[in-house]
A and B are shown apart, each in its own frame.
Chain A
Amino acid sequence: MKRFAQLFQSLDQTTKTNQKVAALQQYFSEAPDDDKLWTIALLSHRRPRRSVTISLVREWAAEMAGLPVWLFDESYHIVGDLAETIALVLPKPVKTSERSLTDWIEHVIALKDLEDEQKREGMLEAWRSLNHRERFVFNKLMTGGFRIGVSQKLMTRALGRATGIDENILAHRLMGDWSPQTTTFEELVLQERAADDLSKPYPFYLAYALDVSYEQLGPPADWQAERKWDGIRGQLIKRDGHLFLWSRGEELVTDRFPEFEVLTAFMSDGIVLDGEILPFKDGVPLTFQKLQTRIGRKKVTKRILQEAPLILMAYDLLEHEGEDLRDHPIRHRRRILEEVVQSVNQEVLRLSEIIPFDNWPVLEQERDRSRELFSEGIMLKRLDSTYQSGRKKGDWWKWKIDPLTIDAVMIYAQQGHGRRANLFTDYTFAVWDGDSLVPFAKAYSGLTDAEFREITTFVRRNTLERFGPVRSVQPNLVFEIAFEGIQASKRHKSGVALRFPRMHRWRKDKHPKEANTLHDLMEMLKMYG
């Protein structure tokens, strides 16, 4: 545990990528194999299942610290991280421990089937034997995500340097459905892969938002344009009689979306498709809201299948007849893709249509139609582009439509978490309904750190009431809120739900009375809902 806690601290103490990679590389060169494997798992969101509920962890920590639960909770609101709060309030450890990371994780996993009293003893035992840093890491294992500013890509790079294995090959090996309890470091990372690894997806190639004018892209004839759909990125694999569907978070979602099962019979082996998983009915896409009713739901009823049926809008072909096509230009991949989709001939598999255009202004007009077609904008792909891995600039662009915007008044503020702990960064916004303000959206992104600091000072000085971590403030600040879509909603007081609201600009020039009204919002609902 000491070595892992040291690694965690090194990663946490620097903002520089190369220092992070160096720290990880050193760790991967020195740590024992089982610890390395767990480290890879933790950094790729494969945390062991929670074995003790958060509320019990909280209760026992407060008890050991000799604090009333309300004071512990207040502290938690300030820190914004439960694992850290616990590490900070506990009394000094009474002993030290030489147990390894793997040892402690197994300790945690073993708590799962015990009675509460034994769980409690297991937790206290850990807290008594670990120092501040180790406790923090241990608590992270217990309470949730391991976000420490290390992407999977960065971790893979470091592992590549430590093992001498090509980074892309590693990225491939680390994908998929594995856990340290079902594999070994040797097997997962070091062993060359036999062809029987059927489910392995390819790393997704991600587009950047278009940040240059289209004139700079060169002749239109070099480009392929398609609609950009608002679904989940997915990779559909058919190999050796088996079908697999992966989402971009590298999760295997085959079982969750049973409508694709039918393809097993109609697709030939050795095919990998890249596309968008979309709710789709009567020839048009449904809103992302409909898709949300499907995400995370493991059991699918008939009714849900009728209300939010899914399709794959295919736009790329990565493997055909078992051959990796990623090095071929998209103009070539596209040709075969069209053949594949046509020969499968099933409703759940559609081809993303190409928008013909011979000059940019024409495409811009097409882009302006996006909203009526339920699309987010245009995807641009250079016809010569290969299928790369990760987010790369230059060949693929997303050219989204401008968001909808509305001016709103901030009425509640709450402190952020993690990097933003101790700053008020999460706000609730309202529009006018006569003389009263009706809340309609929450947002927490889009401002600079300096602006957040300024607003934090405002909140401290203009608090009206406190409700736990939330403060109501003088309705003095106006923000332009940008969002991607608007839907009627019974669950919200305002009657609408926004898609991806964020702060576009702080309108210091506007008086609160100049903010928009509920009526304006309803007009938008009529036009775009």
Chain B
Amino acid sequence: MALIEFQKGGLYVPEADVYIDPWRRVKKALITHGHSDHARWGHHRYVCADSSKAILQHRLGDINIRGVPFGESFLVNGVQFTFYPAGHIVGSAQIKVEYQDEIWVVSGDYKTEDDGISGAFEPVPCDVFITESTFGLPIYTWLDQSIIFDEINQWWATNRDAGVTSILTGYTLGKAQRLLSGLDTSIGPIYTHGAIENMTKVIRSSGVPLPDTIRITPETPKKDLVGAMVVAPPSATGSPWMKRFKTVSIATASGWMQLRGARRRRSVDRGFVLSDHADWHGLNQTIEATGASKIYATHGYTDVFRRWLESKGLEAGVVKTRFEGELAEINEGSEPEEEEQP
């Protein structure tokens, strides 16, 4: 029996009778992070990293949940579990599963660059590594976030000088806070869409330093928004919510913006290449650092990535999951991001 089985309902650890990020309702779910394709509604019991707990409670309401500090192991039916930082978003974790001298690691979503708010990723040595491969192609390589934030701030300053409102879109959970952390507050005030303001409040109160933001309400004077920065979820673009702004420049920050075609298709004014997922080099370096002899790719360019790993002499497989990577961030995922608490 494999330590982790790939079942219809999700990644299953039979010895412990627990699931990791399941998409069907189960008794006990270990959750890597708070995005809706990983943390779903309706499980009996949730276990997550400590720093993810408040986020899950905010998103899923009154649930039975336990938070565990990073690096602290716990046993379920004799199987040992440990959460390690995944660097993807605040509270995101990789999950190490150990049983009888065998070690498997489920990466969840991860990025290798330390963004300053999500915890620094560390590769975890293991025998079998179940990795995401959202950007598992050599065309996806990221620049340091400091360079991207310089571009973003410059764009904002130029817009401000022209009396234009800058609207920057990214996931409500994760990308929005990362964007906030990189904005230069000396340029002007930062406004937020309600969904983002709520989530940011939760994350700020858990001790993550984020700049001051102002929630946009129907009462917000229109003239105050001129030249300001507005952080909004991707779904806000093209919605009636946008009507309150006079002249705007809209930008999307996502790994998908790496491709010119994707940028132009979104018909945003600017596309900044900023992803919360590992790039090509990040994936390859991580796999090498884990020392794993068997690799499973869960989502992204899985088939190509598997062939690449095999060509390097690794044993590799593909697992069909319902994880989506950043697709919903450019409105191309199959399910819209949940903006508000159910």
Stretch at the interface among B193-201, B217-225, B261-269: B261-269
21 contacts between A and B (CB under 8 A): A12-B260, A13-B270, A14-B269, A65-B138, A74-B304, A75-B137, A78-B259, A79-B139, A79-B259, A84-B259, A85-B139, A88-B139, A88-B140, A417-B261, A418-B261, A421-B259, A422-B262, A423-B261, A423-B265, A449-B265, A457-B334
Q: Which of A440-485 contact B (CB under 8 A)?
A: 449, 453, 456-457, 461, 466
Given A78-B137, A89-B139, A421-B260, answer yes or no on A68-B311 (Cβ-Cβ < 8 Å).
Answer: yes
Chain B's closest residue to A423 (CB) is B265
Bound CA span A420–B259, Å: 10
The minimal Cβ–Cβ distance linking B152 to chain A, given in whole angstroms, is 14
- Of all chain B residues, the one with the shortest Cβ separation from A419 is B264
Distance in Å: Cβ of A9 to nearest Cβ of chain B: 10
Interface residues of B in 105-155 (CB under 8 A from A): 137-141
Write the nearest CB–CB distance from A82 to chain B, whole angstroms: 12
Q: Using known A-B contacts A453-B332, A457-B332, determine if residue A422 contacts B138 with beta carbons closer than 8 Å.
A: no
Q: Is the CB of A419 within 8 A of B334?
A: no
Q: Decide yes or no: A421 and B137 within 8 Å by CB, A15-B269, A457-B334, A461-B334 being known contacts.
A: no
Question: Which single residue of chain A is at the shortest CB-CB distance from B260?
Answer: A84
Type the 1/0 row for A96-126, where 1 means its CB is closer than 8 Å to any CB of B. 0000000000000000000000000000000
> Is B269 within 8 A of A13, CB to CB?
yes
A94 interfacial by beta-carbon distance below 8 Å: no
Say whether A221 faces chain B, with CB atoms less than 8 Å apart: no
Chain A residue with minimal CB distance to B308? A71
Judged by a CB distance under 8 angstroms, whether B70 is at the interface is no
Which of B139, B141, B269, B334 contacts A78 (CB under 8 A)?
A: B139
The answer to whether A88 and B261 touch across the interface, beta carbons within 8 angstroms, is no
| Contact between A80 and B261, CB atoms less than 8 A apart | yes
Is B293 among interface residues, defined by CB-CB distance under 8 A? no
The chain A residue with its CB closest to the CB of B303 is A466
Q: Which residues in A have their C-beta under 8 angstroms from that of B140?
A: 88
Q: Convert A404-436 into 0s and 1s, putting 1 for each residue whose CB lies closer than 8 angstroms to a CB of B.
A: 000000000000111111110000000000000
By the criterion CB–CB under 8 Å, are A71 and B304 in contact?
A: yes
Report how far A114 CA is from B269 CA in the complex, Å: 43
Interface membership of A81, Cβ < 8 A:
yes
Size of interface on B: residues with Cβ below 8 Å to A: 25
Give the residues in chain A near B332, CB-CB below 8 Å: 453, 456-457
Q: Is A422 a contact of B331 with CB atoms below 8 Å?
A: no
- Smallest CB-CB A-B distances: 9 pairs: A421-B261, A88-B139, A419-B264, A75-B139, A89-B138, A74-B304, A457-B334, A75-B137, A422-B262
A81 to B259, CA, bound (A): 10
Chain A residues with CB under 8 A of B141? 88
**Chain B residues with a Cβ under 8 A of chain A:** 137-141, 256, 258-262, 264-265, 267, 269-270, 301, 303-304, 307-308, 311, 331-332, 334
Given contacts A74-B304, A88-B139, A89-B138, contact A453 B261 (CB under 8 A): no
* Shortest Cβ distance from B267 into A: residue: A15
* Chain A residues positioned under 8 Å from B258 (CB to CB): 88
Could you tell me the distance in whole angstroms from the C-beta of B57 to the nearest C-beta in chain A? 31
Which residues of the partner chain A approach B334 to less than 8 Å between Cβ atoms? 457, 461
> In the complex, are the beta carbons of B138 and A420 less than 8 A apart?
no
Question: What CA separation (Å) do A144 and B308 show in the bound complex?
Answer: 29
B-side contacts of A457, CB under 8 Å: 332, 334
The yes or no answer to A67 lying at the interface (CB within 8 A) is yes
Which residue of A is nearest B256, CB measured? A422
CA separation between A79 and B304, bound complex, in Å? 14
A70: chain B residues at CB < 8 Å are 307
Chain A residues contacting B265 (CB-CB under 8 Å) are 419-420, 422-423, 449
Bound state CA distance, A296 and B128, in angstroms?
Answer: 58
Provide the residues of chain B in CB contact with A449, threshold 8 Å.
265
Q: Is the CB of B138 within 8 A of A71?
A: yes
Q: Which residue of B lies closest to A16 (CB)?
A: B269
The closest CB in chain B to the CB of A83 belongs to B260
Chain A nearest CB: distance from B164 CB in Å? 12
Complexed CA–CA distance, A185 and B275 (Å): 44
Residues of chain B within 8 A of A81, CB atoms compared = 260-261
Closest-by-CB residue of A relative to B262 is A422
**Is B261's CB under 8 angstroms from A422's CB?**
yes
Check A78–B301 contact: CB distance below 8 A. yes
A15, A74, A81, A416 — which one has the most chain B CB atoms within 10 A of its CB? A74
B196 to chain A, nearest CB (A): 24
Shortest Cβ gap from B215 to chain A (Å): 30
- Which residues of A have CB within 8 Å of B269? 13-15
